[in-house]
Structure 1
């Protein structure tokens, strides 16, 4: 993880201890090493998870060029580093290490801010030019790696996570109407760029920021572009196959043990197939795979619209087919509830509760055997795999399709809170903002235009929820997860495949199924989408319900002033059954509503959040 501090007025050198404290908050992200670079006006810090070049990749990394000194702190992996390195060497640059950190730094020295347009990877980094007294921040195209910043008076702070910024004494954790609206209306999703806390922002995906004595400039360097799709169905499927294979191949680069997170679904099975073949081609292997399941789920699992079948039989089928060294991690229900505060601390915000907690516990077990994992995340966003992509009425609801039971949820909140956050106005504003961004294609019919809008919402508003979850929960356990489906080349190509082609054979992700024909068994190719597994044990519901009841009975609970106590009592007495099977996404039902409100209360209390009214 990365963090840093710029101040044009004060001398920072006696305040090294503050920078150390900021960096220490990120030690879970970077358990292997740490470093600090400090001058009078700037301080950069780094916590390292060693993946490439253990000896030469120490950070912050400093390079002298001309009269200037350039310093970088960087979190991520640059998959096209070897090609860029060769190109930079032809321009006369010399490298002192094999690390991708140095490639990014020298690319910036050579090409300036336009260097980011050449990068294919997952990254958030800061480069400080000591001579020009200028800071450059950048974040990858799809926001796989996080980056937050705060600018207050003469102090500019940045960090991989909110906790690193909050460790600075100049930042007070406050929320205003916007922050509360994000938590209670959109949560656990967030509007791009929102840091939730007052005065704190997130650098949006595909953007860079320049900070100097004149102030802040923010520029977008990448976005989805709508173009006519010229390829026929067969060519499109072959291209998807090729781009995904290349993405997996590039993301297998590592100097430490690597594995695949396998659910037995189409997406993770595809990653397993490509990774297994690539390792075999290079005389490496076998491939290690990991799956997650829950104690007693065989007993309690019941199919529903969102979860049509259990994963276990499918996992075994794929693991056997590709001869992987497979391990299934079994989680017990009490551990999920116990890990809710850990998941909150990893996110610094209320999140996807037990779905977060289970990923953290799973990552902790995977970390015992691997440092890097590949996952099948984000195929559904890119190819339109969600149930709401087949709902003809979804755009007529006038809000984000993963948000349900909004009016029922509003009954839970106090009249004062509702008056303050103006929920209907806020939701309508955020939804219309999102639709206004969609790059429409002239000549598209209404149906194609609506699907483009829906897929844009998927990629820019829903996908960050899952990417945030994947990054925070895995990195809290010191595990780096890579997502080949988020390769920008694949995302750009898939974006312009017409919906009729994406949905070929009238199947969700039909084009992807066609692209994988011959690689995976037909029964896997025809398996219905099933989301990340969750516990179905009724003891989890009872655990969080009783926990929430105790919290509401406690007069010191900060949540009490924000809710309608009568409605909350009804919620407790009815076991939140009205919110099943899901009020958010596909997995967050009644039990998760209790857990989410528990996390909100814990967040307000533990983070000492004050209200700016």
Structure 2
């Protein structure tokens, strides 16, 4: 994994802009701590930071290759899991290779097949290829959007990068946010609208899209999207196919020239991936699998079960590590570390994020990095297989909005009246919901129940899942750790999307078809364990700490947050005895500590990025 950046300017000589390019590239150093490279010409500048995973000796970027007199330059962030097959096919067509890295495979594939190369890729990627002869830049992002790619357009400039920070470092770019950007921050929340970059003139290339930039302008092309089709398999056949796809996906993603580990919570998803990894390591003679888990000091004393987290992970982690014989690394954090890292987590995202969940993941990734460079994670299984409680609740299924946006009016009430009038919260979220629903590829002849469940699946895969993928990428790469997400293999997602709901819930259980697919793979008690999400802190000291952070913000007249919120109402919430209870924020009820930490992060963002509103 790496970080990429660069820009096109047809009206300037960019060879005089090397300092600008160096600064932009340097902002991505955490994503690529192993090496840096730049390439610059009259109208195209490219920068790259490298995290060495495949062929560390020979995979330097920007990478240059020739076909006759034609010259191509690539900067690439990602992994191609079918690189060996692609390489064999390209060699059969007369292409030659000088490295064993997938960067060269990707570039040669473009040289052979042009823009259509992306349709052949199985992997996670964001890349840019400059065709020197054609004076054309080609950019692409993977089908599910695991790897980020932002771009900025204004006054003839086209600037791109893995993260907003490298674009904001360009001397021509200012950190400005308008009404839509504020609506994304306060109303949509961490679940940003696909393609929206929050900052003015900044967008994000959507998953499954590619882009061409040349003298004629900028053209965006959708090369992949979810499609509906009739599911022909029986329950048994479906379970078998899911099992085969998952096994193939995990084994592909275990290939690396550097240490690989798995993240293990003792839940269905991470236990399945770890089990497949252990079996693969045994078959290939690679020794023991290292596993990592995260928790908080004294969490066992304060844990209280609820619908989204019915039980604690610790006993289940021990169950699986003992069962599999992995080398396990339990990581624990205390409240002061978690609170202090809220600041760095905001800088890692370039935006306010998921508060303590971001901060703990950032800390977790830094610890994992001490022993591994690549990790396997169970992200996205709940969106794909229907594991969240809102898949099973009528009030969420029948709501005319996103299931995580049921409390928009209450959230809007915490904004200043002027800001609320400007961004029009309910209208904004209504428009975004209508846009999303209009995209759903329904199948002719489906009854209302199946249409409703297909809609919910689509909203989760295309609107909520990117939130978690964005978080995982940004926090892991800030620590120089590559995290792979097997459940985001596009073949698996395409197949599961079209499994009818009554088969997805086989056995009358959430994620029933996945459980059935894993029968005989996992111990029965783990197989039927209720879903438990990424762990959160339950320590009341966290509430005390983040309440203090927010009150400090509210008590400082210079805080940039104050003009945007209803200070009186927010202060009442922060000072209330019931501050530890749930507050309607971001759809389902968010705890008071989460809200206070989020608003603190908003203030950090506004202040550190010197964001101007307008």
TM-score bin (small chain): over 0.9
CA distance 1:585–1:81, shift in 2 (3 Å) = farther
Identify which of 32, 35, 39 aligns with 2:34.
Answer: 32
- Residue 334 of structure 1: how far off its partner (Å): 0.8
- Residue 582 of structure 1: how far off its partner (Å): 6.6
> What do the CA deviations read for 1:138-195 (whole angstroms, capped 9, x no partner)?
0000000000001112221100000000000101111111001110100111000000
Q: Equivalent residue for 1:23?
A: 25
In the alignment, structure 1 residue 435 sits paired with structure 2 residue 411:
no
CA distance 1:96–1:587, shift in 2 (3 Å) = farther
> What do the CA deviations read for 1:400-454 (whole angstroms, capped 9, x no partner)?
1022432222221111001100111101100011000000000000000000000
- Asked if the contact 1:188/1:465 (under 8 Å) is kept, the reply is yes
* Mapping for residues 82-481 of structure 1, pairs under 5 Å: 82-481=84-483
CA distance 1:576–1:549, shift in 2 (3 Å) = farther
Question: SS where residue 17 of structure 2 aligns?
Answer: helix
- Displacement over 6 Å in runs of 4+: none
What TM-score, normalized to structure 2?
A: 0.98
State the alpha-carbon separation in 1 of the partners of residues 108 and 94 from structure 2: 11
* Mapping for residues 487-502 of structure 1, pairs under 5 Å: 487-502=489-504
Question: SS where residue 157 of structure 1 aligns?
Answer: strand
> What do the CA deviations read for 1:188-236 (whole angstroms, capped 9, x no partner)?
1100000000000000000000001111000000111100000000000
State the alpha-carbon separation in 1 of the partners of residues 395 and 562 from structure 2: 36
Question: SS where residue 385 of structure 1 aligns?
Answer: coil
State the alpha-carbon separation in 2 of the partners of residues 566 and 11 from structure 1: 53
Q: Equivalent residue for 1:528?
A: 530
- Residue 576 of structure 1: how far off its partner (Å): 6.2
Task: Give RMSD over aligned pairs.
Answer: 1.1
Question: SS where residue 398 of structure 2 aligns?
Answer: helix
> What do the CA deviations read for 1:319-375 (whole angstroms, capped 9, x no partner)?
111110001001111101100011001100110011000000000000000000000
Question: SS where residue 337 of structure 2 aligns?
Answer: helix
- Asked if the contact 1:503/1:511 (under 8 Å) is kept, the reply is yes
Q: How many residues align?
A: 612
State the alpha-carbon separation in 2 of the partners of residues 588 and 53 from structure 1: 45
State the alpha-carbon separation in 2 of the partners of residues 271 and 489 from structure 1: 17
State the alpha-carbon separation in 2 of the partners of residues 300 and 21 from structure 1: 46
- Asked if the contact 2:263/2:376 (under 8 Å) is kept, the reply is yes
- Asked if the contact 2:391/2:397 (under 8 Å) is kept, the reply is no
Q: Equivalent residue for 1:45?
A: 47
State the alpha-carbon separation in 1 of the partners of residues 489 and 516 from structure 2: 19
CA distance 1:573–1:509, shift in 2 (3 Å) = same
State the alpha-carbon separation in 1 of the partners of residues 426 and 566 from structure 2: 18
- Residue 66 of structure 1: how far off its partner (Å): 2.3
State the alpha-carbon separation in 1 of the partners of residues 495 and 577 from structure 2: 45
- Residue 67 of structure 1: how far off its partner (Å): 2.2
Q: Equivalent residue for 1:11?
A: 13
Question: SS where residue 217 of structure 1 aligns?
Answer: strand
Identify which of 72, 91, 94 aligns with 1:70.
Answer: 72
- Asked if the contact 2:408/2:426 (under 8 Å) is kept, the reply is no
- Residue 553 of structure 1: how far off its partner (Å): 1.0
State the alpha-carbon separation in 1 of the partners of residues 231 and 582 from structure 2: 40
State the alpha-carbon separation in 2 of the partners of residues 279 and 301 from structure 1: 35
Identify which of 497, 507, 510 aligns with 2:509.
Answer: 507
Question: SS where residue 397 of structure 1 aligns?
Answer: coil
State the alpha-carbon separation in 1 of the partners of residues 199 and 398 from structure 2: 32
State the alpha-carbon separation in 2 of the partners of residues 218 and 589 from structure 1: 40
- Residue 555 of structure 1: how far off its partner (Å): 0.5
Question: SS where residue 338 of structure 2 aligns?
Answer: helix
- Residue 566 of structure 1: how far off its partner (Å): 1.8
- Residue 509 of structure 1: how far off its partner (Å): 0.2
- Residue 586 of structure 1: how far off its partner (Å): 6.6
Q: Equivalent residue for 2:539?
A: 537
